[in-house]
């Protein structure tokens, strides 16, 4: 298993945002996570990536390392990368510097070499820059490399956070609503790019997504959260037909017509 959690819990005051979740993810899988607003999807990401501390009794393992309450930067060093629901772009940095900063864990030279400005730094910086420009071309942002991230459109920003998260060549990439707010055409385009990047870099993916069509079309397995608990898990088809899911997530059992509409979003 690439990622494994046991009894993963987190409370905020009295609220159990994550309640004893056992989760396993094998390599190379594309996992979807769905659930109503406030069901704990983003909290799950924040716990796994070390942004939040877990409650006592929780256990998280990533790629053979016990990462329970490890600092976020350590977890990233093990090869876990993520995006944020609110993007957290580096607004006042150039597009190129945004992706290059994602390369941090792979930088081969030492701090001291950087201070004294040895030639090998500039050689390596040149290589990093070329590789990151290729990545930008791949997502279609090469022309914007010198602009500030704040100057990009909504769709371009989503591509940029994706590129920045991939720059570290992660083993596991966790995307928090990557397509939120995009038009249907752009959603398709983004998903196509994500799938190409998955193949190119051999990624394992977890995608939180509200757009059901995306989840149904791309994920191998879907995990459903509600009130901080895992209420279902299985293939998209299984999950769609699960009574508990239908109740919690879709509100009521849908007839075929309604289901078609929901999936066409």
Contacts of 59 (CB under 8 A, 6+ apart): 4, 5, 6, 7, 8, 66, 68
Of the pair 10, 145, the CB lying nearest Mg ion is at: 10
Look up tokens 């093990």; give the residue.
Answer: 78
End-to-end CA distance of the chain: 33
Minimum CB separation from another protein for residue 29, in Å?
21
Quick one: what does residue 115 bind among ligand ATP, another protein, Mg ion, none, with the CB cut-off 5 to 8 Å set by partner type? another protein
* Minimum CB distance to Mg ion, residue 42 (Å): 3
Task: State the binding partner of 38 from ligand ATP, Mg ion, another protein, none, CB within 5 to 8 A by kind.
Answer: ligand ATP
Give the residue from 206, 189, 208 showing the smallest Cα distance to 198: 206
Quote the CA–CA distance of 98 and 94 in Å, as a whole number. 6
Q: Which residues fall within 8 angstroms of residue 242, CB to CB, at 6 or more apart?
A: 224, 232, 234
41 binds ligand ATP (CB under 6 A): yes
By the 8 A CB rule, do 199 and 91 touch?
A: no
Question: Total residues at the site for ligand ATP (CB under 6 A)?
Answer: 12
Number of residues that this document lists for the chain = 265
- List binders of Mg ion among 46-85 (CB under 5 A): 85
12 binds, among another protein, ligand ATP, Mg ion, none (CB under 5 to 8 A by kind): ligand ATP
Site string for Mg ion, 78-107 (x = CB under 5 A): -------x----------------------
What residues make contact with Mg ion under the rule CB under 5 A? 41-42, 85
């Amino acid at each position: 298993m690439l990622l494994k959690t046991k009894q993963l819990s987190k409370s905020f005051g009295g609220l159990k945002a994550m309640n004893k979740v056992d989760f396993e993810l094998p390599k190379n899988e594309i996992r979807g996570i769905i659930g109503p607003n406030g069901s704990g999807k983003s909290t799950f990401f924040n716990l796994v990536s070390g942004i939040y501390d877990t409650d006592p009794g929780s256990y998280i393992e990533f790629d053979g390392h016990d990462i329970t309450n490890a600092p976020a930067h350590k977890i990233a060093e093990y090869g876990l990368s993520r995006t944020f629901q609110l993007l957290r772009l580096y607004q006042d940095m150039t597009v190129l510097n945004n992706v290059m900063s994602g390369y941090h864990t792979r930088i081969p030279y030492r701090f001291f070499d950087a201070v004294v400005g040895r030639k090998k730094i500039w050689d390596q910086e040149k290589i990093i820059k070329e590789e990151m420009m290729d990545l930008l071309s791949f997502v279609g942002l090469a022309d914007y490399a010198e602009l500030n991230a704040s100057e990009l459109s909504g769709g371009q920003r989503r591509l940029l956070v994706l590129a920045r998260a991939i720059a570290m060549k992660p083993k596991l990439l966790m995307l928090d609503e990557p397509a939120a707010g995009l038009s249907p055409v752009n959603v398709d385009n983004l998903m196509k790019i994500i799938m190409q990047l998955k193949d190119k870099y051999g990624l394992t993916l977890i995608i939180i997504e509200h757009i059901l069509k995306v989840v149904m079309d791309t994920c191998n397995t879907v995990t459903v959260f509600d009130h901080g608990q895992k209420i279902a898990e299985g293939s998209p088809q299984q999950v769609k037909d699960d009574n508990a899911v239908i109740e919690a997530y879709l509100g009521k059992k849908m007839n075929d017509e309604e289901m078609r509409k929901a999936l066409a979003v």
